Amino acid sequence: MHKYKYLIIVLFFFTLVNCKGNKSENLVTKPEKIPELKVLFGSALNYYNKGKYRNALKLFKKVETRYSFSDLAPRATLMITYIYYQNGDYFNTLKFARKFQTLYPKNENIAYIDFLIAMTFYEQVQIVARDQTYTKAALKEFKNIIGKYPNSKYAKESRLKIDLIDEQLAGKHMYLARFYMKKSKWISAIRRLNIILEDYPETIYTIETLHRLVEIYYKLGNISLAKKYAATLGYNFNDSDWYKKTYKVVVDQNYESDTKKTKIKLRDKIKNIFKLSK
């Protein structure tokens, strides 16, 4: 009887195991719970794609702070930086871009972050009549990009932006040169015009600069220098409207000079007549 009792217990145990095994095979397993990190980042991207930037920023910042050592943390900081840039908040763009540079200097997106910093300054470039602080800062950052990533698409874009910045800075000097010319401050005007020729010779302001120098040197009586700049303008830009204006200045000045000489000769002749009559 005891033998049967133990046998029944053993059989019951194996039956129980078999039942559990069968149940586990037949049951549909529940999907694994998605980690909070992926949920947060996915929701942030979803908000961003819908144009809900405040909500996106809030969630990206949670990813950045709660999971600072995760693979998604750099991407979160990148998205935060770009959202601020996209919305014209350049102060916070620079803040988070600099943060990215410090925390992830070897990240695959570091070149883009560097370019974003340069563009942040570039977007704040003032009109030619005002201070050029942001222009110079952007120029510095674009040159840095060309030095660090010479063959990248960011270097190519940076070169184009530098050309535009050169136009901007040359425009500033031309603005001041015109101002000084109106005030008859010829030396100050010449200084500004010389800066354009020396530092920004390939800008659109070069032709006007040569013309202005012709005008100024004629006014100062330095005919040789005036003719020198007129010849340079004629040799390089003889089809331009500025050359036509310069040509008119030269012709008018020559006419005035010839008229003065004629008057002097006539005056001398009259003097001689009076001398002879005496």
Give the range among 98-102, 108-112, 164-168 with minimum mean pLDDT: 164-168
User: Do 214 and 242 fall into the same domain?
Assistant: yes
Q: Are residues 158 and 96 in the same domain?
A: no
Is position 245 within any domain? yes
Domain, as residue range, for 134: 110-183
Q: What is the dihedral of CA 167, 169, 170, 172, to 10 degrees?
A: 120
- As a whole number of Å, the CA-based R_g of the chain is 39
What is the mean pLDDT of the segment spanning 83-107? 97
Instruction: List, in sequence order, the alpha helices (H) in 123-240.
Output: 133-148, 153-182, 186-199, 205-219, 223-236
Number of domains in the chain: 3
Least confident range of 18-22, 57-61, 198-202, 220-224: 18-22
Give the residue from 101, 127, 142 where a domain finishes: 101
- Note whether 84 and 119 are same-domain residues: no
Confidence of residue 254 (pLDDT cuts 50, 70, 90): low
pLDDT of 23 over the 50 cut:
no
Does residue 1 lie within any of the structural domains?
Answer: no
- 196/211 Cα distance (integer angstroms): 13
Residues 115, 179 within the same domain: yes
Distance CA 97, CA 63 (A): 16
Classify residue 138: in a domain, yes or no.
yes
Q: Are residues 263 and 226 in the same domain?
A: yes
State whether 131 and 161 are in the same domain: yes
Residues 68 and 90 in one domain: yes
In a domain, 25, yes or no: no
Contact between residue 145 and residue 111 where contact means Cβ atoms under 8 Å apart: yes
What's the pTM? 0.71
